[in-house]
RNA sequence: GGGCGCGUGGUGGAACGGUAGACACAGCGGGCUUAAACCCUGCGGCCUCUGGCGUGAGGGUUCGACUCCCUCCGCGCCCACCA
């Protein structure tokens, strides 16, 4: 194993086999080469579990940016690698690999900035990431790594799109079904047609429309963040607080455009229910629950006076219907135009009319002002409630009273029905609005907090608590005297029987906007005919390749022109856009869809492709999916056994992928109901950052400390602290650490810094501690001058043996719980013990030690293992097992407390009875109990003795 | 405003309700060395020090509380006019 060149590479006059950064680098390169050559971590395409079972282990895959990795990125990868190596050594068949999420706006922007095409920059970035990650010695199956931009990958992304497009949601069966079954359901009358006419009376075109109306992927006109300056719509996360684009700082305008949508709302209840079965952090589950935002309530129809129409509202408080003294519709509500009369029907105060001569004028003026505001402006806190009367009245269905209808932007068009009944006495927002406009506040629930339940003149806020219903008796219905809960039920019951309302459920979750006017994404497998109708391409025509084009920039338009239309870059690929295909009725000319899919698309399903990356006939072979991800017991959802990544994906990625997974499950492609059975959020690596006096970040690596202050060159700078990354200019490259200390030291350091789920500050000068640890291990087992092992084939001393088994016991427990920081502490303690003995280490201690070290420092451990005389890799060696007989010693030391304070320790035989322990303890603290009676003695076996004295008089 | 977390030495952190501060970084001392580094080894919460006080503050439960319960303070994250 030792070579002449090794010696030439060691530092200065250090012994030739001292474990230094240089020696580590050499060892690491050698073992990485050997693992690759021998295919050590390649997982066969079979369905054979290990003795302990199978384990599908996964990281959230990286987006390969142009900056390369910093030491924060691989934190999770190192953790999963350690866990995977441990699992392998404890008999599990482990599937672990890493792919690349490579489509999306950052790659495209980077390409534009560097003047190269996205494909070549993306490929270069992936190569760089692969090289940087390879240096860390991760035991990934290299044959399963995929990139979302691979044709062999995105062809299946497109295939899944077609599956979703060709499906509808059967509410009765609560699952997706193929669209072909919808026609049958329409025909049989099981599902009503959009306008209620029988299926047989519909024309061909109407039938196609009826099918399109229920698809899970559909086109609709929706409000979007339109950024003419960038020529694309943007996701909400790409819009800054002041309504401009994150990239380029162009205005972002609200505009209605026809876009592809995904009907994720159909799955709202199932996405909610299955959270119960997932082993996920409670915080992430809560975020998803809030995002879905299910609330139970009622829909109520308020007839509009003077028209045949009714205004439908959603409320969670049907019990307060008698307290509804006015109504509010959102400015965008479709009924606004029809309900506005020509003139004010009655004299109205200035606060209602805004001083306008006619309702139309008032409403128009208010609406145009609301439209000019950005979404952020509208939602700004502490903005006084404002609005105008529409001039219309509706009828409260319970009391028969006339209630005025207002337009106000505190009601959102996108939630519920976009209209509310306002109960100012019991809703804070309505209360604020009523006080501003001078509207009646009528209590209908008796307040129990001391305020006057009947006279609201002294109220400073709405009463939202429970209480007895009052003022709620009418000719049709009376609920006076009931508590809020009962009153809700009674009201819904009455409304349903009277036909004026019904119990309903509302969600905050919206359908998912799935189009982007960008180049660098998956093309849709869709073409349009002359009439503009969308047609899916058949599976045989996949993949629809992303064409190479000369100018992949988005169309640059007047940044302030909200009326402009997007010009997707693909539209300029005219040869590609115009296509002649035969969709069953002979070859015809079509135009391709020129939008592309959002960045989430590939990450929605990549876990499935890891299972069967080379399969060109199926997304994944069913038996492989069932083996790796299938449910394992009654009620189990199935899914990846452990998914590790940052909490920033708590909602979007993790909700979208759950949605796709459920559709594919419903359509019979997957046995698992959920993609990720267990989720773990690792913390971030943070670091100090420095700003100059203009507040601009300076490179943290070049800042020096002098006299308690920080300097960048001659300029004093201010220290701050935050997540490591490009924006704070505080990145540290893993390459730099690998060069100085080696990858094993980096791995140990990152894991040792703290619990995996907690963010921790990077400190380069602290890394040396882990190098010293490895050096001591090395020196305890090898001769630094020759590299030969110094271990002896003798039995270890009893103390060392006991510590070894205690360490094994503890390390196993820490590993199972992903507590790698404390597992490493245990190994350090054992090694410190070996160091302090200053004697050769017994082989029976050295070998288990090396095996326990190997998940953390695999290269050094492999080298030690080989030098101890083993030929094969230790990756599949059984992990040491503690011998219970060697864990305990002959005696036990008990701390003895008197009145809660430790006063002595006593040593007793391990098999001493509680009585004996008590006697020894009392003898040990005799000096402390003098003159006082012992009231009670608590003996906790193996732990502690607690003596309680009688109270001093 | 709502929800979820978290507060322990100079620093990162450890502690099934059972001797608070393991382990490590930084610091200080001893040994080795011509010397320095490395290495080995020791010290280290605070105080009026045979004892007392200490895990953000205050209370409670318990033989015993960093840990469980209540109130408050501070910090972080997420959502936020969702009817």
pLDDT tens readout for residues A27-61? 999 999 999 999 999 999 999 999 999 999 999 99
**Position of tokens 């003022």?**
A471
Q: Taking residues A329-335, what's their average pLDDT?
A: 90
Question: Tokens in use for A478?
Answer: 């009376």
Q: Is the CB of A504 under 7 A from strand B?
A: no
Query: Is residue A707's pLDDT more than 70?
Result: no
- Distance of A601 CA from B24 C1′ (whole Å): 43
Q: Straight-line distance from CA A825 to C1' B30, in Å? A: 26
How far apart, in whole angstroms, are the C-alpha atoms of residue A829 and residue A810?
12
Contact A426, A323 (CB under 8 A): yes
The percent of residues above 70 in pLDDT, for chain A, comes to: 95
The pair of structure tokens assigned to A567 is 């010009």
Cβ of A122 less than 7 A from strand B: no
CA distance linking residue A262 with residue A278, whole number of Å: 24
Q: What is the mean pLDDT of residues A462-490?
A: 91
Cβ atoms within 10 Å, residue A299: 20
Strand order in the sheet with A587-592: A534-536, A526-528, A587-592, A578-582
Q: State how far the alpha carbon of A57 is from the alpha carbons of A4, A84, A432, in Å.
A: 40, 7, 52
Q: Of residues 876 to 905 in chain A, which lie within 7 A of strand B by their beta carbon? A: 893, 895, 897, 899-902, 905
Among A227-236, A619-628, A846-855, which is the least confidently predicted range? Answer: A227-236
Check: CB of residue A609 under 8 Å from CB of residue A657: no
Distance CA A251, CA A656 (A): 28
Which nucleotide lies closest to A836 by the C1' atom and the CA atom?
B40
pLDDT score at A4:
31
Closest C-alpha to A840, from A771, A788, A879: A788
Checking if the pLDDT of A259 tops 80, the result is yes
Q: What angle do CA A933, A939, A945 make, to 5 degrees?
A: 70
> Mean pLDDT, to the nearest integer, of A507-531?
92
Query: In the predicted model, what is the mean pLDDT of chain A?
Result: 89
Which nucleotide has the least CA–C1' distance to A420?
A: B83
The answer to whether the beta carbon of residue A764 comes closer than 7 angstroms to any atom of strand B is: no
What number of H helices and E strands is found in chain A? 30, 31
Read off the pLDDT of residues A544-553 as tens digits, 9 standing for 90 and up: 999 998 887 7
Q: How far is CA A266 from CA A116, A164, A435, A590, in A?
A: 42, 12, 39, 31
- List Cβ neighbours of A786 (8 Å cut-off, separation of 6 or more): A2, A17
Does A378 score more than 70 pLDDT? no
Q: Is the CB of A784 under 7 A from strand B?
A: no
Looking at residue A699, its pLDDT comes to 87
Nearest nt by C1' to A328 Cα: B83
pLDDT tier, A1 (very low <50, low <70, confident <90, very high otherwise) = very low
**Residue A402: per-residue pLDDT:** 94
The residue among A935 and A742 whose pLDDT is bigger is A742
Contact A662, A673 (CB under 8 A): yes
Would you call A884 helix, strand, or coil by DSSP? helix
Whether residue A116 has pLDDT greater than 60: yes
Q: Are A592 and A576 in contact (CB under 8 A)?
A: yes
**pLDDT bracket for residue A328 (50, 70, 90):** very high
d(CA A135, CA A146): 19
Alpha-helical segments (H) within A588-682: 600-603, 606-610, 622-629, 652-666
Distance A902 CA to B25 C1' (A): 31
Q: Which residue is nearest to nucleotide B5 (CA to C1')?
A: A283
pLDDT tier at A925, thresholds 50, 70, 90: confident
pLDDT attached to residue A244: 75
Q: Which of A651, A763, A802 is nearest to A281 (CA)?
A: A651
Q: Provide the edge-to-edge strand list for the sheet that holds A295-303.
A: A310-315, A295-303, A501-506
Which region holds residue A481: left if phi is over 0, alpha if psi is between -120 and 50, else beta? left
Structure ipTM: 0.94
Distance of A946 CA from B50 C1′ (whole Å): 22
A286 touches strand B (CB under 7 A): yes
β-bridge pairing A685-691 and A715-723: antiparallel
Q: Which of residues 646-665 of A touch strand B (CB under 7 A)?
A: 647, 650-651
pLDDT at A915 over 70: yes
CA A40 to mean position of chain CA atoms? 32
Task: Please identify residues in chain A, positions 904-943, with a C-beta within 7 angstroms of any atom of strand B.
Answer: 905, 936, 938, 940, 943
Q: For residue A594, what pLDDT is reported?
A: 94
Which pLDDT does position A579 carry in this prediction?
Answer: 95
Å between CA of A207 and C1' of B5: 53
CA A173 to chain centre: 29
Using the CB atom, is residue A769 less than 7 Å from strand B? Answer: yes
Q: For residue A543, is the peptide bond before it cis, meaning its omega torsion is within 30 degrees of 0? A: yes
Query: Dmax of chain A from CA atoms?
Result: 109
* Closest residue by Cα to residue A875 from A885, A890, A865: A865
Write phi, then psi, for A927 (nearest 5 degrees): -65, -20
- What pTM did the predictor assign? 0.93
Q: Please tell me the distance from the alpha carbon of residue A156 to that of residue A159, in angstroms, as a whole number.
A: 5
Sign of torsion over alpha carbons A85, A87, A93, A96: negative
pLDDT of residue A226: 83
pLDDT class for A891, splitting at 50, 70, 90?
Answer: confident
Mean pLDDT of A931-953: 81
Q: For residue A780, which phi and psi values (nearest 5 degrees)? A: -70, -20
pLDDT computed for residue A6 by the predictor = 33
Q: Within 13-32 of chain A, which residues have Cβ less than 7 Å from strand B?
A: 14
* Segment holding A178, helix H or strand E: strand A175-178
Cα–Cα separations (whole angstroms), residue A697 to A207, A715, A721: 60, 13, 11
Q: Residue A436 CB closer than 7 angstroms to strand B?
A: no
Task: State residue A953's pLDDT score.
Answer: 43
Task: Using the structure, give the distance in angstroms from the CA atom of A719 to the C1' atom of B56, rounded to a whole number.
Answer: 25
Range A300-327 average pLDDT: 93
């Amino acid at each position: 194993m030792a070579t002449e060149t090794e010696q030439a590479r060691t530092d200065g006059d250090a012994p030739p086999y001292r474990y230094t950064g240089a020696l580590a680098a050499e060892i690491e390169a050698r073992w990485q080469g050997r693992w690759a050559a021998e295919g050590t971590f390649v997982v066969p395409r079979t369905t054979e579990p290990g003795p302990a079972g199978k384990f599908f282990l996964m990281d959230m895959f990286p987006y390969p940016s142009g900056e390369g990795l910093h030491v924060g990125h691989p934190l999770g990868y190192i953790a999963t690698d350690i866990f995977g190596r441990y699992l392998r050594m404890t008999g599990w068949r482990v599937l672990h690999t890493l792919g690349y999420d490579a489509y999306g706006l950052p790659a495209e922007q980077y390409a534009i900035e560097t003047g190269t095409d996205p494909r070549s920059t993306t490929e270069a970035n992936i190569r760089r990431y692969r090289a940087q990650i390879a240096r860390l010695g991760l035991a990934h199956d290299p044959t399963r790594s995929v990139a979302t931009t691979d044709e062999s990958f995105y062809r299946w992304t497109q295939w899944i799109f077609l599956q979703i497009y060709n499906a509808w949601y059967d509410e009765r069966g609560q699952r997706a079904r193929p669209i072909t079954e919808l026609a049958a359901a329409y025909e049989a009358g099981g599902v009503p047609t959009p306008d209620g006419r029988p299926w047989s009376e519909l024309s061909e075109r109407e039938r196609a429309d009826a099918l399109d109306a229920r698809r899970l992927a559909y086109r609709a006109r929706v409000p979007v963040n339109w950024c003419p300056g960038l020529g694309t719509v943007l996701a909400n996360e790409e819009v800054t607080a002041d309504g401009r684009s994150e990239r380029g700082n162009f205005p972002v305008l609200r505009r209605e455009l026809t876009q592809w949508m995904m009907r994720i709302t159909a799955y709202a209840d199932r996405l909610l229910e299955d959270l119960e079965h997932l082993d996920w952090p409670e915080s992430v589950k809560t975020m998803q629950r809030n995002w879905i935002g299910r609330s139970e309530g009622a829909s109520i129809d308020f007839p509009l006076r003077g028209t045949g129409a009714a205004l439908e509202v959603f409320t969670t408080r049907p019990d307060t219907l008698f307290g509804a003294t006015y109504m509010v519709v959102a400015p965008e509500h479709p009924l606004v135009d029809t309900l506005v009369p020509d003139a004010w029907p009655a004299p109205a105060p200035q606060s209602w009319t805004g001083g306008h001569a006619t309702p139309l004028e008032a409403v128009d003026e208010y609406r145009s002002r609301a439209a000019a505001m950005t979404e952020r402006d509208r939602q700004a806190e502490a903005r006084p409630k404002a609005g105008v009367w529409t001039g219309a009245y509706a009828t409260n269905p319970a009391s028969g009273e006339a209630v005025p209808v207002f337009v106000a932007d505190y009601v959102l068009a996108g939630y519920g029905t976009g209209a509310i009944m306002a109960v100012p006495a019991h809703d804070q927002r309505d209360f604020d609005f009523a006080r501003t406009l001078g509207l009646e506040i009528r209590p209908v629930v008796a307040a129990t907090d001391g305020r006057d339940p009947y006279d609201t003149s002294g109220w400073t806020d709405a009463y939202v608590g429970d209480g007895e219903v009052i003022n709620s008796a009418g000719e049709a219905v009376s609920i006076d005297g009931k508590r809020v809960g009962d009153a809700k039920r009674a009201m819904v019951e009455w409304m349903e029987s009277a036909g004026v309302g019904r119990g309903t459920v509302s969600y905050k979750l919206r359908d998912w906007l799935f189009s982007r006017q960008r180049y660098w994404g998956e093309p849709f497998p869709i073409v349009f005919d002359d009439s503009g109708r969308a047609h899916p391409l058949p599976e045989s025509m996949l993949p629809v390749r992303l064409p190479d084009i000369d100018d992949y920039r988005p169309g640059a338009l007047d940044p302030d022109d909200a009326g402009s239309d997007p010009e997707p870059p693909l539209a300029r690929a005219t040869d590609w856009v115009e296509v002649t295909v035969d969709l069953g009725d002979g070859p015809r000319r079509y135009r391709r869809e020129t939008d592309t899919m959002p960045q989430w698309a590939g990450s929605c399903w990549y876990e499935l492709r890891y299972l069967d990356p080379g399969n060109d006939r199926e997304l994944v072979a069913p038996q492989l999916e069932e083996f790796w991800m299938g449910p394992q017991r009654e009620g189990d959802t199935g899914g990846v056994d452990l998914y590790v990544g940052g909490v920033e994906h708590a909602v979007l990625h993790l909700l979208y992928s759950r949605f796709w997974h459920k559709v594919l499950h419903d359509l019979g492609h997957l046995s698992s109901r959920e993609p990720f059975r267990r989720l773990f959020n690792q913390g971030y690596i943070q670091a100090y950052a420095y700003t100059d006096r203009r507040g601009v970040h300076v490179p943290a690596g070049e800042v020096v400390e002098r006299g308690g202050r920080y300097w960048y060159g001659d300029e004093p700078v201010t220290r701050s602290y935050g997540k490591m990354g490009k924006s704070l200019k505080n990145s540290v490259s893993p390459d730099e650490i690998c060069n100085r200390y080696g990858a094993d030291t980096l791995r140990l350091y990152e894991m040792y810094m703290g619990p995996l789920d907690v963010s921790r500050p990077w400190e380069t000068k602290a890394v040396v501690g882990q190098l010293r640890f490895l050096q001591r291990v090395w020196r305890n087992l090898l001769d630094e001058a020759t590299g030969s092992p110094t271990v002896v084939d003798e039995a270890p001393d009893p103390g060392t043996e006991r510590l070894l088994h205690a360490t094994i016991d503890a390390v196993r427990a820490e590993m199972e719980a992903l507590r790698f920081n404390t597992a490493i502490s245990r190994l350090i303690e054992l090694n410190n013990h070996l160091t302090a003995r200053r004697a050769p280490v017994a082989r029976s201690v050295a070998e288990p030690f090396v095996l326990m070290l190997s998940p953390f420092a695999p290269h050094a451990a492999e080298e030690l293992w080989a030098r101890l005389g083993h030929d094969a890799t230790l990756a599949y060696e059984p992990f040491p097992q503690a011998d219970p007989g060697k864990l305990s010693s002959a005696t036990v030391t008990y701390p003895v407390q008197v009145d809660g304070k430790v006063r002595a320790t006593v040593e007793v035989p391990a098999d001493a009875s509680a009585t004996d322990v008590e006697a020894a303890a009392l003898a040990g603290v005799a000096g402390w109990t003098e003159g006082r009676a012992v009231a009670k003695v608590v003996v906790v076996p193996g732990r502690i003795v607690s003596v309680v004295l009688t109270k001093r008089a």
